[in-house]
Structure 1
Amino acid sequence: MSTAIVVGAGIGGVTAAVALQRCGWQVTVLERAAELGEVGAGISVWPSAVAVLEELGVKGVEKAAAISKPAGMRKPNGRWVVKAADLGVELPVMIHRAQLHDLITDEFGPGITVRTGYAVTKITQDDTGVTINDDLRADLVVAADGIRSVIRQTLYPEYKGPRYSGYTAYRGIADVQIDDGGGETWGRGQRFGFARLIDGRIYWYATANQSAGQGGDHATVTKELGEWHEPIPTILAGTPPEAVLQNDIHDLSVPLVPFVQGRVLLLGDAAHAMTPNLGRGACSAIEDAGALARHLAGATDLGTALAAYDRERRKATTQLVRRSRGIGRVGQVENRVVCAIRDGLFAFGGKLVSLRRRK
């Protein structure tokens, strides 16, 4: 039986473990934290990722309930710039990261072994396998150890790695009752977005231009955005201050490194960490796992299967990294005139798309 080690037990890592299990592999999952689990707030799961999860047997990631109110992009005063309905966009399922993680790990069977509290410090490989820390060995290692991947740094020590986007993000979950379709509000160098999770709570996020390491908390967001249109003040007021997360936003420099070197494969943020502007980071990791399973299924040569994975996923995710960073630059513009032009172009584009759809 083929064996694999998955380093990192985030969304991408556990999905990869399930995918390998379904291919008949024996899998060991290594997690540096003391317990298996996921931290964070909400996460968007787009249809392509939902399809992968369904193929892997993951249950419970259902379509979101129909939104009765408009969703889309607004100005801080509440005026609509463009509505999602005008663009004909399909909205993702919104779910808490921990809940999604639990749904995926529920599919862990006897083919998957989990070791927590295990830090990877060394990796070597030869023609027959890969060794981790001189005590674990497998036919394949999947590096799903995040944007600051130790394994990626070992394989590609000259790679520039993470780069700061120029803005920070706040995230939280409010247990409030609001009658609003959600979406994003774009101001000058600041944005606020929110959506209803499948459990009924409201997931929200905000961004602000600032120097790396400056920090911030619930009070910071409330001071800066608490007078924007409703239901933003209500959402902020309904969020426990201690539960607000603040993280400076980084992505990986392009061109991305090859996702495969020998018998070691990079997956998720370790391979293609992107800014959250498209809401595709975790989805891309899930799609990585689906592609890995697809190329391994029935493969007679591991090297050929891994090379096919690299060709498919590196091209697709490089485009997403660039697009997401570009959207972030537009969204974080501070100049008043440029913001007015930006909003006008979005509004015009929405009307044009809506007109074409009607025809």
Structure 2
Amino acid sequence: MPKQRAIVIGGGIGGLTAAVALHRSGRQVTVLERAASLDPVGAGIALAPNAQRALDTVGLGDEIRSLAAWQGDGGLRDPAGRWLIRMNSDALAARFGGPVVLLHRATLIERLLSRLPDGTVRTGSPARLTDPGSATGRPARVAVPDGGTETEMEADIVVGADGIHSAVRRVLFPGHPGPRYSGLTTWRIVVTGVDGFDPHETWGPGRIWGSHLFKDGRAYAYAAAVAPEGEHADDERAELLRRYGDWHDPIPRLIAAATDGVLRHDVHHMIDPLPAFHRGRTVLVGDAAHAMAPSLGQGGNQAVEDAVVLAHHCAGGDLGAGLAAYTTDRLPRTARIVRRAARVFRLHSLTSLPAVTLRDGLMALTARLGPGAAVRAFDGIADWRPPHRTYAEPAPDGADGDGTRRLS
């Protein structure tokens, strides 16, 4: 009996995790990526225990943990450097079954690719969904360029993992308003030669900054600020110095070291949830389904969750029922997290001195409630556990077996 065919549109973290999970469930998978290569942008990703448990189900959890830095004790500061909240990494690990770990997105992409057969990913292949298919049997169809024409490919399931401005989503739900601008723009840098600091996030009037260290000693930093949509500076490094150059150490040092470029992107999020995450035989994962503000660090984490839950529900014989179960499972959870992230992002947007003073005072009050108070903000997020796996774990030598260790 021929294998069912899956096409994944988009080669980001959600798309590649979906490809790995569907491949492991016995499907023939093709990933179509518009970009000419899968070299990720220079940025980090923090994987909370929920995403690590999801990666455990595809045999990658331990490997990723070994390559990542444990996010140690740090916390929230004000621009002068005063600590508002000190985070306790041991308390977080005890509450949620493991630490938050940080690594470069390129590392995660590379490890996901290592789990796919050669030829699975086709770069330089923009794909267009021409027919979402039907739950009762009609396959989905995708058109890809072929010289000066297009070739259509059929699949039992198509996964739209094509990001915030998803073309697949617009085909499935043309009447949905889609993502909207959050009011904040973001910058990201990865630098070398800057160490000797505790991980932190710093909140100022209408601005934030975060500084962390990778396991290899490189520093990863991000910033966000209230700005008009679409605004860019001729020199983004100079723009960071203008906005953050008088903030506490190590922020000026990090900006000074950012000689290899600064990434800037506006933040869009999807406050209005979709009516479903699937239609026919086509399904959405990650930002295509539920773009969210980065304030909880859950965008990539939720994409990884999506991927393994999708493979779980589609492991049975009734694909229509499986996709419906995926929507039922994922839509309410991600909608709640989108709203929570938006609430925190609104705190980042405060610009008036009285509002900022009140916000910082409330943060300091939270710290006085004990080391676990800030950690409890991630209840209902980091404590998630994947559904029971319904497909076999292939051992390297082809023998039956599992061998995957999960977080507690």
**Structure 1 length as normaliser, TM-score?**
0.93
Select 1:260's aligned residue among 269, 278, 296: 278
1:123 to 122, 130, 134: 130
Q: Distance in 1 between matches of 2:314 and 2:172?
A: 23
Write the distance in 1 (CA, Å) between the matches of 2:20 and 2:248. 43
1:337 aligned to 2:340? Answer: no
> Can you list the C-alpha shifts for 1:28-65, whole angstroms capped at 9, x where unaligned?
11111122332241111111111221221226311655
Question: Gapped runs of 5+ residues in structure 2?
Answer: 94-98, 144-150, 375-408
- Asked if 2 retains the 8 angstrom alpha-carbon contact of 1:163 and 1:252, the reply is yes
Counterpart of 2:64 in structure 1 is: 61
Deviation at 1:191, TM superposition (A): 0.6
- Partner SS for 1:61: helix
CA-based RMSD: 2.0
Is the aligned partner of 1:97 residue 2:115? no
Which structure 2 residues correspond to residues 314-333 of structure 1 after superposition, within 5 A? 314-333=331-350
Q: Is the 8 A contact 1:9 1:36 kept in 2?
A: yes
Segment drifting more, 224-233 vs 50-59 = 50-59
Q: Measured at CA, do residues 67 and 147 of structure 1 come closer, stay the same or move farther in structure 2, by a change above 3 Å?
A: closer
1:251 touches 1:274 (CA, 8 Å); kept in 2? yes
Q: Give 1:270 deviation, angstroms.
A: 0.5
Q: How far does residue 120 in structure 1 lie from its aligned partner after superposition? A: 2.0
Q: Does the Cα contact within 8 Å between 1:73 and 1:186 map onto a contact in 2?
A: yes
What is the alpha-carbon distance in structure 1 between the residues aligned to residue 250 and residue 121 of structure 2? Answer: 42
**1:289 matched to 2:307:** yes
Shift, 1:160, TM fit: 0.5
Provide Cα deviations, 1:241-285, integer angstroms capped at 9, x if missing partner. x42101111111312331011110000110011111111101111
Taking a change above 3 Å as real, the CA distance of residues 66 and 155 of structure 1, as seen in their structure-2 partners, is closer
Aligned match for 2:175, one of 150, 158, 165: 158
Distance 1:156 1:202 in 2: 40
SS of 1:89's equivalent in the other structure is helix
AA matched with 1:336: L
Say if 1:86 and 1:291 are closer, same or farther in 2 by CA, change over 3 A: closer
Question: 1:227: how far off?
Answer: 1.2
8 Å contact from structure 2 (residues 91, 372) kept in 1: no
Are residues 1:243 and 2:261 paired? yes
Q: How does 1:207-226 map to 2 (within 5 A)?
A: 207-216=224-233, 217-226=236-245
Contact 2:14 2:286 in 1 (8 A): yes
1:257–1:271 contact (8 Å) kept in structure 2: no
Structure 1, unmatched stretches of 5+, are: none
TM-score normalised by the chain length of structure 2: 0.82
How many pairs align?
353
> C-alpha separation between the residues in 2 aligned to 1:221 and 1:93?
26
Alpha-carbon separation, structure 1, partners of 2:44 and 2:320: 36
Match among 199, 207, 217 for residue 200 of structure 1: 217
SS, match of residue 92 in structure 2: coil
Alignment partner of 1:72 is 2:79: no
Q: Secondary structure at the match of 1:76?
A: coil
CA gap of 1:340–1:89, structure 2 versus 1, over 3 A, is farther
**How far is the alpha carbon of 1:166 from its aligned partner?**
0.6
* Residue equivalent to 1:168: 185
Identity across matched positions, percent: 41
Give how far 1:214 is off: 1.1
2:246 match: 227
Contact 1:120 1:150 in 2 (8 A): no
Partner of 2:142 in structure 1?
A: 132
Contact 2:85 2:364 in 1 (8 A): yes
Partner secondary structure for residue 135 of structure 1: strand
Does the CA contact (< 8 Å) of 1:173 and 1:201 recur in 2?
Answer: yes
- Name the counterpart of 2:290: 272
CA distance, structure 2, for counterparts of residue 323 and residue 183 of structure 1: 21
State the one-letter code of the partner of 2:288. A
Between the aligned partners of 1:237 and 1:294, the Cα distance in structure 2 is 47
CA distance in 2, matches of 1:335, 1:316: 33
Q: For residues 134-155 of structure 1, what are the alpha-carbon distances to aligned partners after superposition, in whole Å with 9 as ceiling and x for unaligned?
A: 6100100000011111111011
Which residue of 300, 320, 323 maps to 1:306?
A: 323
Counterpart Cα distance in 1 of 2:28 and 2:71 = 42
Q: Offset of 1:88 from its aligned partner?
A: 3.3
Q: Which moved more, 1:78-87 or 1:190-199?
A: 78-87
The match for 2:148 is: none
Aligned-partner Cα distance in 2 for 1:175–1:181: 16
Structure 1 CA distance for aligned equivalents of residues 179 and 90 of structure 2: 33
Asked whether the 8 Å contact 2:70–2:100 carries over to 1, the reply is no
Judging changes above 3 Å, is the alpha-carbon distance between structure 1 residues 227 and 87 closer, same or farther for their aligned structure 2 residues? farther
